[in-house]
Structure 1
Amino acid sequence: MVPDRITGRHGLQELRTLCPKRQWNFIEVNVTMEELQEMRQLRVSDLVYPLQTVLDDSIGCAIWFAARGHGILYSKGTTETDGIPYTSRSKVVLVGMGADEQLAGYSRHRGRYNSEGLPGLVEEIEMEIQRISARNLGRDDRIISDHGRESRFPFLDEDVVSFLNSLPVNLKANLDLPRGIGEKYLLRVAARLLGLREACLLPKRAIQFGSRIAKLEKNKEKASDTCQRLLE
């Protein structure tokens, strides 16, 4: 019952309420320590290379297991008794990358805003966008492609990026508001208009923490440290 599973189940119920005639397949992915270590050495370490930080390891592993799409399927409910083993047949994986970078979703955005105001926040967002290809895109695309699936990045669509860049930053984020509201404010408003009243109030949670994969092994590492597990 890690945080992302709890919010995932809540999101499933919200989607079923909004679109009751659609078939929603919710796959719970359970990973043991032994499988994590095995697949890191067999697959993930080569896929994230040349990136080698603790952050790359935890995110890379989390995305690899998620993109594999193998777990327990809950198609009718979310109880522990109605699940069956299942592997997704989808060929496309939708990835939310770009939302945090463009809409001030990270805690460092709030820190920069608190210390330097809107000019500092604008500069931070610009830096995030410029480095996203080197920091994230290649790594995540290789990991997802390892399962024979293609990644799609809706928030990095040229039209979406162009539209967001045309807006003043105060329309995209309002960091005077509390966490879970102010960051990615524009996206939250859009989600609420679509009927996602619970999801639009969820605070930002990084995949490595929401899945708790970062806590399975060493807890005292820094994200920027070189990950020795990738080098073994």
Structure 2
Amino acid sequence: MAASRFRPCIDLHNGVVKQIVGGTLTNDADELKTNFVADKTPHEFAKLYKDNGLTGGHVIKLGAGNDDAARSAIEAWNDGLHVGGGITDENAGEWIAMGAQKVIVTSFLFPDAKFSLERLQSISRAVGKDRLVVDVSCRRRDQRWIVAMNKWQTLTDMEVTRDTLAMLSEYCSEFLIHAADVEGLCNGIDEELVQRLGEWVSIPTTYAGGAKHKDDLRLVSSLSNGKVDLTYGSALDIFGGEKVKFADLVEWNTEIDRN
């Protein structure tokens, strides 16, 4: 059986690598809850990932003022990182030309919070399906997961289901899914969502949100039958956490490669 892999991340806020409680990322600075602000630059984090052979990591620009920081990460690992945040059909090609392996899109697909197939087709044509990741990060409402945009503050008209993921996968090569309600809390993953994703997805998919122990990789692998990869944030020692060691996650991936 396939096994879930650890995928690294670089979350950028005001040009600095940070770990933020996802649900607090509003336009009101007083509401923002930050778990970690890095001393290391985005370039240094990207080089760390490259040196450890960690592929498919995502660089997310959380708001304005992060373009230079994202470029510095790409320079450290050309054709090794996915870049998201403010991506449109007009600038997506520029990020690929700068060295991003793939671009990640969310808000552009939802003008006025309503899904636009035309926009999805446009950006897919602009960079090619193989270079496009669709971010269907979501918030839970009762027993459903609704795609959220605008720093996860605005709910769209799209529910995460087998059918919507199948439709989206016709135009992209990967999914990135933050469970925004548990992002940054280190209180555990959304197990039901991970299990559903394992049942629904047909392309590589990365889940982020709530991971707090190295054994969460084993849990995600079991719940999703190895079809969903996992990103760690605030629990990770390189982000100031005390619960998960970066070296252990690297070793997990190394063991998968050996087998």
Same fold (TM over 0.5): no
Higher-RCO chain (CA-CA 8 Å, sequence separation at least 6): 1
Q: TM-score, normalised by structure 1?
A: 0.28
